[in-house]
Amino acid sequence: MKILHTSDWHLGATFEGIGREEDHKYFLSWLIPFLKEQEIVVLIISGDLFDQSQPSAEAQKIYYQFLLSVSQNTKVQKVIIVGGNHDSPTRLDAPAELLKLLDVFIVGGISFEGKNLDRYLCPIKNAENVVELVVVAVPFIHEYKLGIRTSFQNENEIYSLFKEKIQKFYFDLAEAAENIAHGAPIVATGHMACCGSELDDAPQEIHMIGTMGGLPSTIFDSRFSYIALGHIHRAYRVEQSNAYYSGSPIPLSIKESNFPRYVQIISYEKGSKAKTVQKFEVPVFRKIIEVKSNLEEINNVLLNISWQTPMSPILAITVQVNGYRSGLDLELKNLLSNKFQENSPLIAYVRQVPAKSENVIAKNNETFSLKELTAEQVFLKMCDTYNEIVDENLLQAFRSLLNEENI
């Protein structure tokens, strides 16, 4: 039996206002034949299916067309979808009964009313109606849902309590799953930040314990032979455990575009709990490329840029200038369109930052007391810190505000 693990699609996402619909369509048009070729039986999507809790009509259309295509064009017996912190639990759960007709099993969010653990259990049976696998579908869990209140506790207390509560939840689920597995492998899901993640591996922190670091792999019961995790956009194994992140399948940021994107396949031999885990690189439709330099070098880079992806890259451009240059973004766009005409690279943004000389850098390293500086000097230093170009118009606007404050 083969299971494919993916997560963090973020359908409907944009990069600096540029829609990623075509990137997602390209990924999904690759995934459908890949599922068939690899003879995948179970597809797991571990949260953040959508980028927004209220996804666009186009994002939802892509989602439903994909599920229909899986049903019609592959041998997948079950699609398991759990909600992430970006997803609306109720929106995911709303069509769950209807989507059962396409063999889709959805758990949008958790509820402890009655503690009905069966809601999270999805047994996979063979033609003889024998259970060959049990998937424990756990979505994103906010600490509030576990009864944790953070108002009168310090970080260490919150961390310990959250770890204890979530470990107990996974233990109870493992007990319930074992009762119906009858010796078959048990796979779980999760959407959280575990040990090994870095600050920019995910779009945002999702727990109050974020400043304490990720959760340890010890929260997962040892009876789970694989834990399919979501939230972190980089593919890695958590502390040599059975917990794995598959990462996002399309690059959603500059950093993500510098590394390959993956899906993971977990294979079980018939009648065995032994597994193999393989990463498969996802072909990328287009990359996000950061370009930082002075204007002369940037012009040279843009005129000589090349790519191996089907679509031209998205460019994030930062130009070092001595003074603000009006219309520079249009100038660079025209340069690209004249050079490439069709399939020209897209410019996400053009940011202008001060070109710093060695004297300026040395001067910036000096320390001052606020008492030694005027309000205007503080303003100029703040602008310099945030790479904000200060021209005469901005300075005049600040002086006007300062004068109004002193009236």
Q: What is the pLDDT of residues 59-94, one digit of tens each?
A: 999 999 999 999 999 999 999 999 999 999 999 999
- The C-alpha atoms of residue 77 and residue 161 are separated, in whole angstroms, by 38
Q: pTM for the complete prediction?
A: 0.84
Rg (CA), the chain: 25
**Which residues neighbour 285 within 8 Å (Cβ) at sequence distance 6 or greater?**
22, 23, 26, 27, 250, 309, 310, 311
- Homologous superfamily (CATH) of 2-282 is Metallo-dependent phosphatases (3.60.21.10)
Q: Which of 206-210, 254-258, 341-345, 359-363 has the highest mean pLDDT?
A: 254-258
Yes or no: say if 215 and 159 are a contact pair by the CB < 8 Å rule.
no
pLDDT at 119: 94
Q: Is 68 left (phi over 0), alpha (psi -120 to 50) or beta?
A: alpha
pLDDT at 270: 85
Give the E-state strand segments of 127-184 in sequence order.
131-136
Paired sense of beta strands 288-294 and 314-321, if any:
parallel
Dihedrals φ, ψ of 294, to 5°? -80, 170
Tell me the per-residue pLDDT of 47-57, one tens digit each, with 9 for 90 and over.
999 999 999 99
Tell me the per-residue pLDDT of 323-369, one tens digit each, with 9 for 90 and over.
888 899 999 999 999 999 888 999 999 999 988 754 444 455 555 55
pLDDT category at 272 given cuts 50, 70, 90 is confident
pLDDT at 201: 62
Q: Which residue has the tokens 């451009």?
A: 317
Q: Which residue has the higher pLDDT, 402 or 126?
A: 126
Q: What is the DSSP letter of 386?
A: T
Q: Which residue has the higher pLDDT, 393 or 163?
A: 163
Structural domain spans, the chain: 2-282, 288-405
- The C-alpha atoms of residue 266 and residue 347 are separated, in whole angstroms, by 39
Tell me the per-residue pLDDT of 143-152, one tens digit each, with 9 for 90 and over.
777 777 766 6
